[in-house]
């Protein structure tokens, strides 16, 4: 080393390097049972033997716990030619010993055991193209409290021994075991002498360490953190190659976090430009809508926005489809079922006849061409689809019902909608829906009348969803039990089920949200609730009461462990079913997202 380089080295010795920042204050190796580094105690366990016939993941039970551990697994591939040669030599010697042995029966059995093992390994190497490896597994755990460290070690030993593994604590080898569990690829000879075991390629599968459920869809949005292994959960529910549909169910008791999670999803999908439509019966999404520059629609006594239930919209059918009026009649029957209650087949036929008569007055019939009108423009006459003003309204229907004795009972039930507290339903549509985020506020309708507003907006949003299959969109049905529960009827529930069953074809996602699980399974022995649950690829369960868990158990494949977990989940934690994966999820939110959701004067 020349003088110049030596001076440079001397200068560097007096500077602060990255190593100085990373290095601990002290390391104590004085105790053979553990290492102490900056007031943290580290201790390691070596796996020294395994079941001869392993067919399950040996580390799964350990990895699925909440124990703080580092696991290091070393595989050393051996030379097959050399291994076969040594095995053949061993088989020949042992075979000769077995023929001439006069030892006791126990010794003979042990020798025969190893003899058969050697023959089996040689056969797998020669015939089945297996490879031979040496396997080493080390487990390191840590704690700031020695008593807690000892308890953790005992817990790890119990789990491993329950899997049929033989273990040994790394006493007097703690430094080497600690280094082996660091990302340094250092497998010390002292450890190898204790932990080395041979294994064939097929046996390596049992040591696969990534056994906990994890979801990381390439184009997914961040959903939360896997409680078991702290892996990030990214879900792309629009991935048609992975999931059969993009539908979701979000269930949970009041205060468990389901509403916050729903708002978080709306916010994150809003950033992706996905069209979203929300039915809001509890006025929970108004502030979020404002902060995200969405469109807020209100229907109620104090609102000045109206939607005509008799509107036939151009987007209600796709270009190739036909039958505008027939499609509309089926939807209207669902709405009138909510108003008139259960109606029999004869009454249904009479009402359908009156609806056809009503549209005929407006020159609309089963010929789809009747939905178009001529308009004079400076460039000439053009055909355009009829507007809301060209459609009948509830008062027109009321007047038709008054002309027939058989329908006067229905007319009486329409009086609140024509002259009374619900007369805001008797208007032409006066809104334009061009926003990608629309919240329908039906809170002012009150408990008894919410179902009318929810159905009205669901019908409206469904038509918008069908407009363009190429555009991703979602409809959120909060308190969905009002539409498919015991207070609803089969026509309405069938319409909601149709949305969940077919929305996938239109690039859409239906989201069912409720805290009243018993109610969504109350209509027709729960058939509609079950159908919607089964047609949702993603199911999210926040904390639930015991009675709701029992109901849910009938319709899902909840394990005993999962039933206990749902009951004890904390706020913001949920059990998520994504396809075939069941994951305990802790919802994570950024500060700016929380500020937007909680309306702290932030908007985007």
Chain region(s) in the chain for CATH 3.40.50.300: 242-305+434-604
**What average pLDDT does the segment 574-589 reach?**
91
Examine the pLDDT at 279 and tell me if it is beyond 90: yes
- Residue 67 burial (C-beta neighbours within 10 Å; 0-12, 13-18, 19+): middle
Q: Is the pLDDT of residue 46 over 90?
A: yes
The better pLDDT of the pair 18, 351 is held by 351
Angle at 456 between CA 450 and CA 461, to 5 degrees: 120
Supply the pLDDT for residue 599. 76
Q: What is the SS3 assignment for 225-286?
A: EECCCCCEEEECCCCCCCCCCCCEEEECCCCCCHHHHHHHHHHHHHHCCCEEEEEECCCCCH
Q: pLDDT grade, residue 339 (50/70/90)?
A: very high
What digits encode the pLDDT tens for the residues 502-554?
999 999 999 999 998 888 998 888 899 999 999 999 999 999 998 899 988 88
pLDDT for the residue 596: 93
Query: What SS3 class is residue 219?
Result: coil
pLDDT (0 to 100) of residue 598: 86
Is the separation of the CB atoms in 436 and 271 below 8 Å? no
At the second CATH level, the architecture of 308-430 is Orthogonal Bundle (1.10)
Q: Is 251 exposed, middle or buried (0-12, 13-18, 19+ CB in 10 A)?
A: buried
CB atoms within 10 A of CB 14: 6
Q: What is the pLDDT of residues 129-145, one digit of tens each?
A: 899 999 999 999 999 99
Q: Cβ distance 246 to 237 under 8 Å?
A: yes
d(CA 219, CA 236) in angstroms, rounded, equals 6
pTM of the predicted protein model: 0.72
Class of CATH domain 242-305+434-604: alpha beta
DSSP letters for 394-426 = HHHHHHHHTT-GGGHHHHHHHHHHHTSTTGGGS
In terms of Cα–Cα distance, which of 25, 54, 28 is closest to 41? Answer: 28
Residue spans in the chain of domains classed CATH 1.10.8.730: 308-430
pLDDT score of 576 more than 90: yes
Q: What is the pLDDT of residue 1?
A: 53
Q: What is the mean pLDDT of residues 94-106?
A: 60
Is the per-residue pLDDT at 106 higher than 60? no
Average pLDDT, the chain: 89
pLDDT digits (tens, 9 = 90+) for 170-208: 999 999 999 999 999 999 999 999 999 988 988 888 888
Please tell me the distance from the alpha carbon of residue 452 to that of residue 434, in angstroms, as a whole number. 23
Q: Is 588 exposed, middle or buried (0-12, 13-18, 19+ CB in 10 A)?
A: middle
Which DSSP string corresponds to 155-171?
Answer: HHHHHHHHTT-EEEE-T
Length of the chain counted residue by residue: 604
């Amino acid at each position: 080393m020349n003088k110049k380089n030596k001076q440079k080295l001397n200068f560097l010795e007096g500077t602060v390097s990255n190593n100085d920042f990373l290095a601990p204050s002290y390391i104590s190796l004085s105790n053979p049972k553990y290492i102490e580094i900056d007031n943290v105690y580290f201790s390691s366990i070596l796996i020294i033997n395994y079941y001869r016939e392993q067919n399950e993941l040996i580390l799964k039970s350990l990895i699925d716990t909440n124990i703080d551990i580092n696991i290091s697994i070393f595989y050393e591939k051996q030379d097959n030619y050399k291994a076969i040669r040594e095995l053949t030599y061993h088989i020949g010697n042992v075979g000769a010993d077995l023929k001439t042995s006069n030892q006791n029966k126990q010794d003979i059995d042990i020798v025969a055991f190893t003899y058969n093992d050697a023959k089996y390994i040689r056969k797998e190497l020669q015939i089945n193209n297996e490879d031979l490896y040496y396997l080493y597994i080390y487990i390191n755990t840590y704690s700031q409290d020695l008593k807690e460290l000892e308890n953790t070690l005992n817990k790890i030993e119990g789990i491993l021994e329950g899997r049929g593994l033989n273990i040994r604590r790394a006493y007097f080898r703690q430094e080497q075991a600690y280094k082996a569990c660091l990302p340094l690829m250092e497998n010390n000879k002292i450890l190898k002498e204790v932990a080395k075991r041979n294994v064939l390629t097929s046996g390596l599968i049992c040591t696969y360490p990534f056994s906990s459920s994890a979801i990381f869809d390439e184009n997914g949005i961040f959903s939360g953190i896997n409680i078991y292994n702290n892996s990030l959960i990214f879900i792309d529910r629009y991935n048609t190659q992975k999931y059969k549909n993009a539908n979701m169910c979000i269930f949970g008791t009041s205060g468990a976090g389901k509403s916050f999670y729903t708002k978080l999803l709306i916010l994150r999908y809003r950033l992706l430009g996905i069209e979203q439509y929300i039915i809001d019966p509890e006025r929970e999404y108004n502030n979020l809508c404002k902060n995200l520059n969405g469109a807020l629609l209100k229907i109620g006594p104090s609102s000045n926005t109206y939607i005509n239930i008799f509107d036939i919209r151009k987007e209600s059918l796709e270009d190739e489809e036909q039958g505008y009026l027939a499609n509309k009649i089926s939807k209207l029957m669902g709405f009138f079922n909510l108003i008139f209650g259960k109606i029999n087949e004869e009454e249904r036929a009479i009402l359908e006849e009156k609806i056809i008569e009503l549209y005929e007055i407006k020159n609309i019939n089963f010929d789809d061409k009747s939905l178009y009108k001529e308009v004079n423009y400076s460039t000439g006459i053009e055909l355009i689809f009829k507007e809301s003003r060209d459609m009948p309204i509830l008062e027109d229907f009321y007047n038709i019902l008054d002309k027939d004795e058989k329908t006067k009972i229905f007319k009486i039930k329409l009086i609140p909608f024509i002259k009374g507290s619900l007369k805001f339903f008797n208007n032409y549509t006066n809104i334009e829906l061009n926003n990608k985020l629309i919240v329908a506020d039906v809170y002012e309708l009150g408990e008894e009348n919410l179902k009318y507003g929810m159905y009205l907006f669901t019908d409206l949003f469904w038509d918008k969803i069908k407009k363009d299959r190429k555009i991703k969109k979602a409809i959120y049905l909060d308190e969905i039990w009002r539409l498919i529960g015991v207070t609803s009827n089969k026509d309405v529930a069938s319409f909601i089920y149709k949305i969940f069953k077919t929305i996938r074809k239109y690039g859409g996602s239906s989201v069912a949200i409720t805290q009243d699980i018993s109610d969504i399974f109350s209509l027709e022995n729960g058939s509609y609730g079950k159908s919607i649950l089964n047609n949702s690829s993603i199911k999210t369960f926040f904390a639930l009461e015991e009675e709701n868990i029992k109901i849910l158990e009938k319709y899902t494949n909840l394990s005993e462990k999962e039933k206990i977990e749902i009951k004890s989940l904390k706020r913001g934690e949920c059990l998520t079913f994504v396809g075939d994966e069941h994951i305990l999820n802790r919802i994570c939110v950024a500060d700016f997202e929380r500020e937007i959701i909680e309306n702290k004067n932030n908007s985007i």
